[in-house]
Structure 1
Amino acid sequence: MTAVARTLHRHIEVDGLQIFYRESVPDNADEAPVMLLLHGFPSASHQFRRLIDALGSRYRLIAPDYPGFGHSDTPADGTPYSFDRLAGLVDGFVERLGLTRFVMYVFDYGAPVGFRLAARHPERIAGLVIQNGNAYTEGLSDAARGFIALRPGVPGAEETIRGLLTLAATRGQYESGAGDPRLIAPDGWTLDQHFLDQPGRAQPQIDLAFDYHSNVERYPEWQAWLRRHTPPTLITWGRDDMFFPEPGAHAYLRDLPDAELHIFETGHFALEEYLPDIAPLVADFLDRAWKPA
């Protein structure tokens, strides 16, 4: 019989916000390895839907939508949004679910969110799966460096960010660098754009764009964390990512020489094109790396 994941779709309140999340329910739920999946920009937990279908019958996979993304509430208190605040809310989500130990899958924005969680609670991190999630300056393309250099009040800066919130830019993030665009379903960028276009969604994205430099400033701290804790790590990477090119993947090996590295001929959203290759790597890694507390 073919194993098909059962996936629950729920909300939980964190600091007055309703946070949406997907959670697979494996048959051996009490013993199954747990993996927290942290999505990127401009997406949400739906970017992991096929991975959850592929692996969720064997592993407990939990994928939240960050506040201001996907089906989760958008903060409306007027406080500027930041990666510190985003990580704090995800930390609260982890606390509410009672997750005490998990492997963390980090992609794009998921890397700065996830490394903040790891720095706060190293005892919770059983391992890392890193997919086009950067923590080294070598992994910043010229386009990424230009993005990071944007500052509030500089003429044209906000307009540049708003240009990244358009359908053309969203679709471009999926298709740029892809080896075979026919393998990339249009559902991803269509749903991403639907959420980006909702009322109140633009400002949090603008705030995060202006705050991205805070992540680069913390790269040395996160690299030191990796050297100190040496978590089991699987790295899968789309070689032709327009933002985080291949050198960013290899840079991890300086601090994690035992990490397992796989490079794929694709772009930013590597799972869209290479799920059949990446899913077995993740499953094998979970089987080897999972050690409950």
Structure 2
Amino acid sequence: MGNVPGMASVRTGLGPVHFVERGQGLPVVLLHANLHDHRDYGGVLDGLAEHFRVLAPDWPGHGASGPIPPGRTVGAGELADVLVDFTDRLDPGPAVLVGNSVGGFAAARLAITHPERVAGLVLVNSGGFTRRGPHVALGTRLLGRPGIYRRVSPFLVPRYMAPRTEEDRRITAETVARGSSGTGARTAAGLWRSFGHTSFDLRPLAARITAPTLVAFGRRDIVFTRGAGRQTRAAIPGARLRTFDTGHVVFASDPAGFLAEVLPFAEAAHRAARGAAA
């Protein structure tokens, strides 16, 4: 893929990743969910960019980034590797990472494997820290089949999004449309299959997370429930939980409420990181 107006790109192990950059100062990185893209953060990007240098990439196979290389199966672990490459190439310094869903998994794994790169974590309806019962294993196996995902997504996406704003409805419609294509269904199914792998369970490693962590959960999400929010908070030392009356993409449903929590958190996390480095 060539240049995309308004976006820059970096090379990763899964090909070029395009990203938006706004603002100046200390870095904040915004990571989106499965079959979504960086535009999910449109309602909060300018508010964050008034205070920080904001980097918002599209995962490989998503948005403006290039397609997933032929023959490659991409799961959550591969996206976490892409985040390592992304921070390698750009070297923004310790960043506050805001990760939604699989983006939260990637952010948390970076905090475990490369703690020097992470000033703070904001995990938004994030995977990686919930108990894995038989129903979870069955759901990931079924949704890990492209044909099943393609049939189920028109019903599943509106349920987890619980749309209440025009932006929610746009995100819902576009995510459903992507999942209706063969390429989109294969991409989504590959990620869903990976959610059933033992490597997706970060709880055994969560004590290694030393960055300040804010767990933001939308209580109307049927996939990542309020119980998942409590489990995430319990797994990560010192994490704080804030629950919103929204679906999966909290910052699209309640941008003002999200910014009210995240701006002071990010400022405090960066102050603490600078103090520790002094």
The equivalent of 2:258 in structure 1 is: 278
- Correspondence 1:266 to 2:246: yes
The partner residue of 2:204 within 210, 221, 224 is 221
Deviation sequence 1:227-266 (CA, Å, 0-9, x none): xx2x211122111210111112222333446333211122
How far is the alpha carbon of 1:202 from its aligned partner? Answer: 2.8
Q: CA deviation at 1:143?
A: 6.7
> In 1, distance between residues paired with 2:221 and 2:134?
12
For residues 59-87 of structure 1, the C-alpha deviation after alignment (integer angstroms, 9 at most, x for no partner) is 11111110011111112331222222222
**How far did 1:193 drift?**
4.1
How far did residue 122 of structure 1 move? 1.3
How far apart are 1:144 and its partner, in Å? 4.7
The match for 1:127 among 114, 120, 124 is 120
In the other structure, the counterpart of 1:251 is: 231
Residue among 173, 177, 196 paired with 2:160: 173
Aligned-pair Cα RMSD in Å: 2.8
Opposite residue 209 of structure 1, the aligned amino acid is W
Q: Separation in 1 of the partners of 2:171 and 2:14? A: 28
Q: Are residues 199 and 13 of structure 1, via their aligned partners in 2, closer, same or farther at CA, if it must alter by over 3 Å?
A: farther
- CA distance in 1: counterparts of 2:75 and 2:207, whole angstroms: 23
1:70 and 2:67 aligned: no
Q: Give the letter for the 1:115 counterpart.
A: A
In 1, Cα distance between the equivalents of 2:200 and 2:10? 32
Q: After superposition, give the CA deviation of every residue in 1:187-233 in whole Å (9 maximum; x if it has no partner).
A: 2223334544566333222222222112565333332323xx2x211
1:136–1:88 Cα change, 3 Å: closer
Query: Which among 95, 99, 116 is matched to residue 88 of structure 2?
Result: 95
Unaligned runs of 5+ in 2: none
| Separation in structure 1 between the aligned mates of residue 77 and residue 242 of structure 2, nearest angstrom | 30
Q: Displacement of 1:146 after TM fit?
A: 3.4
Give matches, 1:187-206, under 5 Å. Answer: 187-196=170-179, 200-206=183-189
In structure 1, the partner of 2:147 is 159
- Aligned-pair distance for 1:131? 1.2
Find the counterpart in structure 1 of residue 193 from structure 2. Answer: 210
Provide the TM-score with structure 2 as the length reference.
0.84
**Does 2:98 match 1:105?**
yes
| Distance (Å, rounded) in 1 between the aligned partners of 2:181 and 2:149 | 16
Deviation at 1:45, TM superposition (A): 0.8
Distance 1:66 1:141 in 2: 28
Contact 2:160 2:220 (C-alpha < 8 Å) held by counterparts = no
User: Which residue identity does 1:220 align to in structure 2?
Assistant: R
Question: Which stretches of structure 1, 4 residues or longer, exceed 6 Å deviation after superposition?
Answer: 140-143
Q: Check 1:242–1:217 CA distance in 2 against 1; reply closer, same or farther (3 A cut).
A: same
Q: Which residue of 2 aligns with 1:3?
A: none
Opposite residue 149 of structure 2, the aligned amino acid is: I
User: What is the alpha-carbon distance in structure 2 between the residues aligned to residue 280 and residue 198 of structure 1?
Assistant: 37
Q: Number of paired residues?
A: 269
Aligned residue for 1:66, secondary structure, equals: coil
2-side partners of 1:16 and 1:100: how far apart?
Answer: 22
- Partner residue, 2:27: 34
CA distance in 2, matches of 1:184, 1:98: 32
Q: SS of 2:197's equivalent?
A: helix
> Structure 2 CA distance, aligned partners of 1:148 and 1:196?
16
Check 1:80–1:112 CA distance in 2 against 1; reply closer, same or farther (3 A cut): same
1:13 aligns with 2:15: no
Q: TM-score, normalised by structure 1?
A: 0.80
TM-superposition CA deviations, 1:35-66 (whole Å, max 9, x none): 11111123111111111022212111111110
Distance 2:239 2:78 in 1: 30
How many percent identity over aligned positions?
22
How far apart, CA to CA, are the structure 2 residues paired with 1:63 and 1:51? 11
SS of the residue corresponding to residue 223 of structure 2 reads: coil
Higher helix share: 2
